Structure 1
Amino acid sequence: MRINPRQLQQSLSKGLMPIYVVTGDEPLIVQECCDSIRAAARNGGFSERELLHAEHSFDWGQLLSSAGSMSLFAEKKIIELRLPGGKPGDKGSKALQEFAALAGNDLLLLLVLPRLDRSQLNSKWIKALEQNGVLIQVWPVEAAEMPRWIHQRLRAAGLDAEPEAIQILADRVEGNLLAASQEIEKLKLLGSDKLITADLMRDAVASSARYDVFNLIDRALAGDAEGAVKTLQGLRAEGVEAPVVLWALAREIRSLLEIGEKLDRGQPIARLVRIPKRQPLVQSALARLTPARLESLLLRARAVDTAIKGGRDQDPWIGLLELALNLSGKRSI
Structure 2
Amino acid sequence: MELTPERLIAQLPNEPLRPVYLIAGPEPLRVLEAADAVRARARADGIDEREVFDADGRDADWNRLVQSFGAMSLFASRRLIEVRMPSAKPGKEGAEVISEFCAQAPQDVVLLITGDDWSRQHGGKWSEAVARVGHHAIAWALKPHELTEWVERRLRARGLRADRDAVERLVERVEGNLLAAGQEIDKLALLSDGQPIDLARMESYVADAARFDIFRLLDAALNGQGAHALRMLHGLRAEGEAVPALMGMLVMELQRIAALARVNAKGGNLASEFKAQRVWDSKQAVYRRALQRHDAARWEALLAEAGKVDRIAKGRPRIGEEPADAWLALERLLLAMSEQRGMQLLAKRAGG
Instruction: Establish whether TM, by shorter chain, passes 0.5.
Output: yes
Q: Which amino acid aligns with 2:137?
A: I
Deviations 1:45-86 (A, max 9, x none): 322111222233432222112212232320011111111133
Question: Does the Cα contact within 8 Å between 2:53 and 2:84 map onto a contact in 1?
Answer: yes
2:91 corresponds to: 89
- Distance in 2 (CA, whole Å) between partners of 1:23 and 1:73 is 30
Q: Following TM superposition, by how much is the alpha carbon of 1:105 offset from its aligned partner in structure 2, in angstroms?
A: 3.5
Bigger shift: residues 244-253 or 190-199: 244-253
- Distance in 2 (CA, whole Å) between partners of 1:285 and 1:87 is 35
Matched ranges for 1:58-97 at <5 A: 58-97=60-99
Matched ranges for 1:2-81 at <5 A: 2-12=2-12, 13-56=14-57, 57-81=59-83
Q: Which amino acid aligns with 1:216?
A: L
Q: Following TM superposition, by how much is the alpha carbon of 1:282 offset from its aligned partner in structure 2, in angstroms?
A: 5.7
Deviations 1:99-121 (A, max 9, x none): 33343432111111022222211
Deviations 1:211-237 (A, max 9, x none): 442642774798x9x998986675565
- Distance in 2 (CA, whole Å) between partners of 1:255 and 1:89 is 31
- Distance in 1 (CA, whole Å) between partners of 2:131 and 2:298 is 42
- Distance in 2 (CA, whole Å) between partners of 1:251 and 1:82 is 25
Deviations 1:237-269 (A, max 9, x none): 557798897467548747966x68988998521
Question: Does the Cα contact within 8 Å between 1:103 and 1:109 map onto a contact in 2?
Answer: no
Question: Does the Cα contact within 8 Å between 1:214 and 1:248 map onto a contact in 2?
Answer: no
Bigger shift: residues 178-187 or 49-58: 49-58
Question: Does the Cα contact within 8 Å between 1:80 and 1:111 map onto a contact in 2?
Answer: yes
- Distance in 2 (CA, whole Å) between partners of 1:151 and 1:116 is 26
- Distance in 2 (CA, whole Å) between partners of 1:244 and 1:8 is 32
1:309 corresponds to: none
Question: Does the Cα contact within 8 Å between 1:77 and 1:108 map onto a contact in 2?
Answer: yes
Question: Does the Cα contact within 8 Å between 2:219 and 2:286 map onto a contact in 1?
Answer: no
- Distance in 2 (CA, whole Å) between partners of 1:237 and 1:111 is 40
Unaligned runs of 5+ in 2: 275-280, 315-325, 338-342
Deviations 1:182-228 (A, max 9, x none): 22222222351211233332222114233442642774798x9x998
Question: Does the Cα contact within 8 Å between 2:28 and 2:116 map onto a contact in 1?
Answer: no
2:191 corresponds to: 190
Matched ranges for 1:38-187 at <5 A: 38-56=39-57, 57-121=59-123, 123-187=124-188
**SS state of the match for residue 75, structure 1?**
coil
Q: Radius of gyration: which is bigger?
A: 2
* Alpha-carbon distance change, 11 to 146 in structure 1, aligned in 2, over 3 angstroms: closer
- Distance in 2 (CA, whole Å) between partners of 1:216 and 1:9 is 34
Question: Does the Cα contact within 8 Å between 2:26 and 2:139 map onto a contact in 1?
Answer: yes
Deviations 1:278-328 (A, max 9, x none): 2364685755678xx99xx9xx9xxx9xxxxxxxxxxxx99xx8xx89xx7
Q: Which amino acid aligns with 2:288?
A: Q
Q: Give the TM-score taking structure 2 as reference length.
A: 0.69
Q: Following TM superposition, by how much is the alpha carbon of 1:178 offset from its aligned partner in structure 2, in angstroms?
A: 1.6
* Alpha-carbon distance change, 163 to 262 in structure 1, aligned in 2, over 3 angstroms: same
Bigger shift: residues 276-285 or 46-55: 276-285
Bigger shift: residues 175-184 or 234-243: 234-243
Question: Does the Cα contact within 8 Å between 2:26 and 2:118 map onto a contact in 1?
Answer: no
**SS state of the match for residue 118, structure 1?**
coil
* Alpha-carbon distance change, 41 to 211 in structure 1, aligned in 2, over 3 angstroms: closer
CA RMSD of aligned residues (A): 4.1
Q: Which amino acid aligns with 1:91?
A: E
Calculate percent identity across the aligned residue pairs: 34
- Distance in 2 (CA, whole Å) between partners of 1:87 and 1:144 is 30
Q: Which amino acid aligns with 1:200?
A: R
**SS state of the match for residue 105, structure 1?**
coil
Q: Following TM superposition, by how much is the alpha carbon of 1:271 offset from its aligned partner in structure 2, in angstroms?
A: 3.9
* Alpha-carbon distance change, 206 to 191 in structure 1, aligned in 2, over 3 angstroms: closer
**SS state of the match for residue 121, structure 2?**
helix
Q: Following TM superposition, by how much is the alpha carbon of 1:161 offset from its aligned partner in structure 2, in angstroms?
A: 1.8
Unaligned runs of 5+ in 1: 305-316
Q: Following TM superposition, by how much is the alpha carbon of 1:173 offset from its aligned partner in structure 2, in angstroms?
A: 1.5
- Distance in 2 (CA, whole Å) between partners of 1:285 and 1:221 is 15
* Alpha-carbon distance change, 70 to 261 in structure 1, aligned in 2, over 3 angstroms: farther
Question: Does the Cα contact within 8 Å between 2:5 and 2:23 map onto a contact in 1?
Answer: no
1:209 corresponds to: 211
* Alpha-carbon distance change, 219 to 58 in structure 1, aligned in 2, over 3 angstroms: farther
**SS state of the match for residue 22, structure 1?**
strand
Q: Which amino acid aligns with 1:64?
A: V
